[in-house]
Every structure is written in structure tokens, then in C-alpha cells.
Amino acid sequence: MAPHSIPPSSSPPLTPYNGSHRQEHHTLSTTDDQVFQTQYRAAPGTANTPRVHITNMAALECLRDVGLDRDVEQVSSKGHCMVHTRWCHSMAGEEYARLYSWGNDPRRKGDYEMASPCQPADIPQTLLEPILIRHATHNKFQVRFDTVLTSFSKDDKKGRIVATLKDKFSNLEYKINTKYLFGADGAQSQVVKQLDLPLERKPGQGLAINVLVKADLSHLVKYRQGNLHWVMQPDKEHPQFGWMGIVRMVKPWDEWMFILFPNRDCDPNIQATKKEYLERVTDFIGDDTPAEILNVSKWFINEIVAKRYSDGSYIHCLGDAVHRHPPMNGLGSNTCIQDAFNLAWKVAYVEKGIASPALLDTYNTERQPVGKSIITRANDAFRDHFHVWDAMGALPEKLEDRRKIVDELASPSPQGEERRRRFRDVIT
């Protein structure tokens, strides 16, 4: 079918969509006699699994600035729901340690409250994305799902970009003539690929498997409240796909994400049945609580950042397109939101004539170093856990060797006391 083309026109003020995070989308801006923006996503709808969740104070301040604080407040979990991070044998079993997290330590809580009008919150991606999409559509954005950016070209003389898109439902291909292109299209970013943005890569840290589970664990967390629970069972045999894992609260206290870490030498293409996943989930729960698997997905622990985020003043990339890392320290969606906020107000200032286009060059200058620092911090935080696993005896391959260390950890002996000291040191 012949592509449809929208002709170029004048350039009145424009405000780009500034709330999206970890969404495969492209924001294109066209202008006629009014502000007109369109967001394109390859996915058929908003996120169907709650991949990201921790939202820090800086990201919440961005959402507050655009008037979404009350909407977010209604769907978020705070306070007692996320007071601790724990290490345990199972959700019902022995607890090895717990730490205050997300600003809940009484010794530091006042510092957090003085630093921001917002409090850290747990907002699953499945609940936050619809809020962002609704806000966009109520503010002159058109949102198109099942739409793929296939290519784009630049007309430097006219200062325009021609983007070719394909509707996956109708197979219709059409063109949009736009002034700006914002590529927030995830780890497989077409914008990053076509621009050939240089990526700084370090060796990845393997495979992880998300198992979304419906199970009422309220009886197990009444006195063990927290949103992250590391489950380690070094004294037991384990399947290749689930050496250890994290049980993460999604909705208190009946929806959970069981994040499984396979053996370090595990085939990344490993397949397990739903029954096998359910057996591992039951091991991690530790009692006969009924559980239902809602979804299983795989992801890889990356350490990748683009060396530059922009191509001139009118094409910019943000989010997972330019920084990819594990979820440690809750840095993923927060950095994505802050990328968008930084870019949004600058584009608005340029379009309103308050600032020159040179202001847009500062987006890359300011945000790329942040992206580099957060992918390093997130991966360092993951690597730090190896010291915990070593102290707890989770690393030896042979079961008998692991059991000896577990026995030593509980032993009333000088060796046991030394191992417990090591464990305390690496935890804190």
C-alpha cells in the first residue's frame, strides 16, 4: 500500500511526552496550527507484567511537577510494605538477616523527609503506565500501539525528519514528517541502531527469569514486612534454572514476582515446564500456600550505556535504549523518567522561544554521565551480593561442601563465630 505522508508546516510550541519509562515507543512531534504530538509503541498495549516498581524521590518529583502525584499515590505501596530487605531460607522458614531499606531506617528517615516532599514508593509498571498514557492522551498526545518505526531520514536543509512507520495490525506503512524524534524504544532500539550510536559494553552477568505469581502470603509477612526477600537454600539440591532468587512484592500481599537466578554455567536457552517453575516457587514459599503462575519471562543482566544520547538538536534517545542494567538499587525506571523530564522542559523552552536550540545539547551533556554511573552502580550492587552468597555457602558446586558451610554458620564455635561475622560485614 502506498505510504501516507503528513506535510511539514510551521513550528508552534511543543511539549513532548515526559513520563514514559521502559516502554518501546517513539515520540514524534508534528506541528500544524496547534501543538500535535504522537507516541508510537511496537507493543499491543501497556506493560502486561510489573517489571519495574521502585520509584525514588527524584522520579516522584518529576511526576509531581506534571500533576500526577495524586494519581500515583492511589496505586502505590509505601511505608510498612517496603520497610525491609530480607535474606531467608524460604518465606516461611528461617530468616538470616534483614535491613531497613528505601529510607525507612529510623536513624536516617528524617534525612529523607527533609530532602524531598515525596517518599519512595513501590509502583508496579502495570499500574504506572496507564496513568502516564491517560495523562498523555488528555494533553494533546495521540498514542498508537502496534506501530513500528522501520526507518527515518533527515532533511538538514528543511530541518525536518521523515519517519517511516508500519501498523502491525493493518500492515499499512506510512510516513510522518516531524521536527523532533525521541527514541525511547528499549533495548532493541531502532533509533539507536540507525544512528549507530556507540555503545559501551561490559560482560553481562547472565540470565534471570521472572515468574509472576498469585499467592496470599499475608500470614508469612505479618512480622516480616518488606518488598524484597532474598531466598537462599544452599543446603538443598536445586534445579539448573533456579539456583537462588528474590521474592518481590507486587501487590501486598497476594501478588509476587519470583526472580530466579540460574546456575552460572546454565544454558541461556534453558526451558522449564510450568510445573517445574511452580515446584521451585513452592520451595521458596516454604509451606502449602496455594500458588498460581501468571507469567514467565526471561531477561539478561546487562551493563551497557550509549556513549552519546543525541544526534544534533532534534534526535534524542532515552531510557533503556541508552542504558541497560539489572534492577539493583531501583535505578531503572527512575533514570528513564528523569531522562524524559530533563529533555521535556528543554524542548518546551526552545519551542516557546525562551531558549535557543543550543539548550537541547545539554541533554546529552547532563544525562549521559548519569546513565554511565547508574549502570555501574546497579551492576556493582549485584556483584556485591557474591560476597553474601560466599559467606552463606551458596557458591560451592557440591552439596556436601555447601552443607558444611551452612552447618558452620550455625555452629557455636570460633569458626562459626567468624563466619557469622563475615556474613554481618558483607550484609551491612
Please give the pLDDT value at position 37: 66
SS3 421: helix
* Co-location of 177 and 257 in the same domain: no
The packing angle between helices 414-427 and 361-391, to 10°, is 170
The total number of structural domains in the chain stands at 2
The residue behind cell 518529583 is 61
Last residue of a domain, one of 300, 316, 341: 300
- The alpha carbon of 158 is separated from its chain's Cα centroid by a whole number of angstroms, namely 37
Written as nine digits, the cell of 80 is 510498612
The answer to whether 116 and 110 have CB atoms below 8 angstroms apart is no
- In the predicted model, is pLDDT for residue 41 greater than 70? yes
Strand pairing class (255-261; 207-214): antiparallel
Query: What mean pLDDT comes out for the span 208-232?
Result: 96
- Distance CA(212)–CA(259), nearest Å, equals 8
- Distance CA(40)–CA(190), nearest Å, equals 12
Is residue 163 classed exposed, middle or buried when 0-12, 13-18 and 19+ CB atoms within 10 A define those classes?
Answer: buried
| Confidence label for 2 from pLDDT (cuts 50, 70 and 90) | very low
- Distance CA(256)–CA(258), nearest Å, equals 6
Query: What mean pLDDT comes out for the span 42-57?
Result: 90
Report the chain's mean pLDDT, rounded to a whole number. Answer: 89
Q: What percent of the chain has pLDDT over 90?
A: 80
Q: What percent of the chain has pLDDT over 70?
A: 91
* Co-location of 296 and 226 in the same domain: yes
* Co-location of 160 and 249 in the same domain: no
**pTM for the model:** 0.89
Task: Flag whether 257 is in a domain.
Answer: yes
Task: Flag whether 57 is in a domain.
Answer: no
Strand pairing class (84-88; 228-231): parallel
Strand pairing class (228-231; 303-306): unpaired
Q: What is the pLDDT of residues 296-336, one digit of tens each?
A: 999 999 999 999 999 999 999 999 999 999 998 888 999 99
Alpha helices, H only, 118-161: 125-137
* Co-location of 326 and 187 in the same domain: yes
Which residues constitute the domain of residue 377?
Answer: 5-49+124-201+304-381
